[in-house]
């Protein structure tokens, strides 16, 4: 399926307009749009504006609160809980990270849990909030079952992503954002939109057989076999059970039951390097590490060794100039004049 190049500001505006059609307040619509376009700019289209149609459908059918009353309770010197009132996860996670940043600035560490949330999009957005303040950011979330456990035939845990952000002085921050599955399911959705085959290592069909056809993939495979499976369990405990939320197969599905709230959990953590070492020296050491990685001997078929987040940064630089490639079907949806929703 062909793609169209769209300037990032136009893309944000289109998303905001779509969300406002289902009575999402402007402030929240702008945050959601910012998170989605952030993902597309980084080339992570699985978490980009293609999700807009799903969010609109969920709001319209009553499974997502467009105007939540988000509440924060500080539970200790460096801890707190955000109750998202089942609003947009993007808005809720951003607020949670802001609270964690404040706690870390005062107390070295900030650990904030989230309950009663929804899909929050690319976690890289939230750890970057921390790195922008010269702080270390960590974010994680559970998701509904879509990944087979190591040795299992049917899905149990979700893709359960985790992200880390480390600030630097001269270089841009190191940002690792990864699913604990081989890929995020959104990449399968993107392959369906573009009608392209996927690697056999991504997922399995209804019978548990690996498939290259994105329309046949019923479940994903864990990254690194038992290692990704183990990480998924840990993240489900920290962002699910610890937050009083469901886990594994008990998490409400993203696709289906659009009239029901999902009550998702997330957790974010911020570490203030200045409480452990010289901040200036820490940032310089990160720069030195990045420089040494760049100078590392290169394997055949590669031009240079990059640090986590750099491939996405390279795409972002290019897309800011050329526009973001968006599937024609997604762009058609965003630009289509909608009938009023009552």
Active-site amino acid positions:
119
- Other beta carbons less than 10 A from residue 178's beta carbon: 18
Tell me the C-alpha to C-alpha distance, in Å, between residue 111 and each of 114, 219, 241, 272, 305. Answer: 10, 32, 15, 12, 33
Dihedral of the CA atoms 329, 332, 334, 336 (nearest 10)? -140
Cα Rg of the chain (Å, integer)? 20
| CA pair distance 142, 93, nearest whole angstrom | 13
Number of helices (H) and strands (E), helices first, in the chain? 10, 11
| Alpha helix segments (H runs only) across 108-177 | 124-131
Residue 111 parent element (H or E): strand 109-117
Burial class (CB in 10 A: 0-12, 13-18, 19+), 240: buried
Contact 298, 305 (CB under 8 A): yes
């Amino acid at each position: 399926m062909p793609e169209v190049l769209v300037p990032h500001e136009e893309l944000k505006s289109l998303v905001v307009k779509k969300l406002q059609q289902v009575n999402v307040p402007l402030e929240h619509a702008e945050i959601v749009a910012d998170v989605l376009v952030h993902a597309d700019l980084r080339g992570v289209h699985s978490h980009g504006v293609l999700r807009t149609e799903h969010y609109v459908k969920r709001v319209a059918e009553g499974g997502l609160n467009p105007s939540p009353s988000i509440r924060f309770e500080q539970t200790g010197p460096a801890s707190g809980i955000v109750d998202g009132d089942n609003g947009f996860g993007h808005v809720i996670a951003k607020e949670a990270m802001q609270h964690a940043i404040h706690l870390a600035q005062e107390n070295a560490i900030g650990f904030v849990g989230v309950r009663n949330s929804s899909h929050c999009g690319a976690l890289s957005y939230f750890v970057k909030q921390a790195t922008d303040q010269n702080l270390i950011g960590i974010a994680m979330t559970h998701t509904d079952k879509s990944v087979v456990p190591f040795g299992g035939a049917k899905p149990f845990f979700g893709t359960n992503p985790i992200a880390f952000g480390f600030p630097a002085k001269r270089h841009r921050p190191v940002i690792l954002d990864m699913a604990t599955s081989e890929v995020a399911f959104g990449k399968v959705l993107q392959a369906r939109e573009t009608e392209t085959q996927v690697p056999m290592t991504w997922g399995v069909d209804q019978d548990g057989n690996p498939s290259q056809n994105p329309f046949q993939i019923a479940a994903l495979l864990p990254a690194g076999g038992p290692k990704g499976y183990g990480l998924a369990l840990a993240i489900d405990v920290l962002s699910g059970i610890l937050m009083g939320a469901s886990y594994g197969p008990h998490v409400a599905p993203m696709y289906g039951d659009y009239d029901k709230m999902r009550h998702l959990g997330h957790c974010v953590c911020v570490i203030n390097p200045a409480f452990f070492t010289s901040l200036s020296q820490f940032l310089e050491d990160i720069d030195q590490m990045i420089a040494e990685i760049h100078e590392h001997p290169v394997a055949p078929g590669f031009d240079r060794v990059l640090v986590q987040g750099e491939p996405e940064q390279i795409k972002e630089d290019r897309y800011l100039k050329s526009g973001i490639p968006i599937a024609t079907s997604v762009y058609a949806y965003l630009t289509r004049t909608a009938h009023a929703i009552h």
